[in-house]
Amino acid sequence: MNKKAIYKFCPLCGGAFVKKRLVSNEPERLVCSACEFIFYLDPKLVACTIAETGKGIVLQRRNKEPKKGQWVLPGGFVDRGETLEEAAIREFYEETGLHSRIKCLLGNYSYPGEANIIIVYQSRITGGTIRPCHESMSIDEFKKEDIPWDRLAFDTTRKALKKYMEVNG
């Protein structure tokens, strides 16, 4: 499923957008036919966390499509002006109820044609109590040997967990 928003009108003056290739080796841009404003469709950043409680790695079961019912790393979109680390800590808390401190960057994941760029941190849990938010059916803690590999929602979930296993034995 590839849902790409199509913008038709300039957010500044309401003029119609036309597609123009402004630089030969760059993608076509949306350019306003009235005021020449260029609307850059930038990537979106997602910050995720891998952290373990005494019981295991904290994963979140998705409560919405796509991949409803499958497991993901707790995380979400980075707000403009927010650091990646702040976003990872904030999202991890919002999704799980757990406070965390970043230990290291585990990896970054991007895919051709996709808007999202996913940054994954390895963190240490510093407090809080697990409570699922409205976006998840449940939060669970998985021992390394019990990771539900066949029910992970995304490529990134799988790749990042694999990397985590390699780095942490």
User: What minimum distance in Å lies between the beta carbon of 24 and Zn ion?
Assistant: 24
**Rule CB under 5 A: is residue 41 a binding residue for Zn ion?**
no
User: What minimum distance in Å lies between the beta carbon of 39 and Zn ion?
Assistant: 9
Of 31, 32, 47, 147, the one binding Zn ion (CB under 5 A) is 32
Sole window of 36-44, 92-100, 116-124, 134-142 interacting with Zn ion (rule: CB under 5 A): 36-44
**Rule CB under 5 A: is residue 16 a binding residue for Zn ion?**
no
Residue number, 12 or 165, with CB nearest to Zn ion: 12
- DSSP-assigned states of every residue in the chain: --------B-TTT-PBEEEE--STTS--EEEETTT--EE----EEEEEEEEE-SS-EEEEEE-SSSSTT-EE-SEEEPPTT--HHHHHHHHHHHHHSEEEEEEEEEEEE--TT-SEEEEEEEEEEEEE-----TTEEEEEEE-GGG--GGGB-SHHHHHHHHHHHHHH-
**What residue type is 84 in one-letter code?**
L
**Rule CB under 5 A: is residue 38 a binding residue for Zn ion?**
no
User: What minimum distance in Å lies between the beta carbon of 27 and Zn ion?
Assistant: 20
**Rule CB under 5 A: is residue 34 a binding residue for Zn ion?**
yes
Residue number, 37 or 142, with CB nearest to Zn ion: 37
User: What minimum distance in Å lies between the beta carbon of 18 and Zn ion?
Assistant: 11
The number of angstroms, rounded, from the C-alpha of 65 to the middle of its chain's C-alpha atoms is 15
Sole window of 32-40, 57-65, 118-126, 147-155 interacting with Zn ion (rule: CB under 5 A): 32-40
Q: Which residues bind Zn ion (CB under 5 A)?
A: 10, 12-13, 15, 32, 34-35, 37
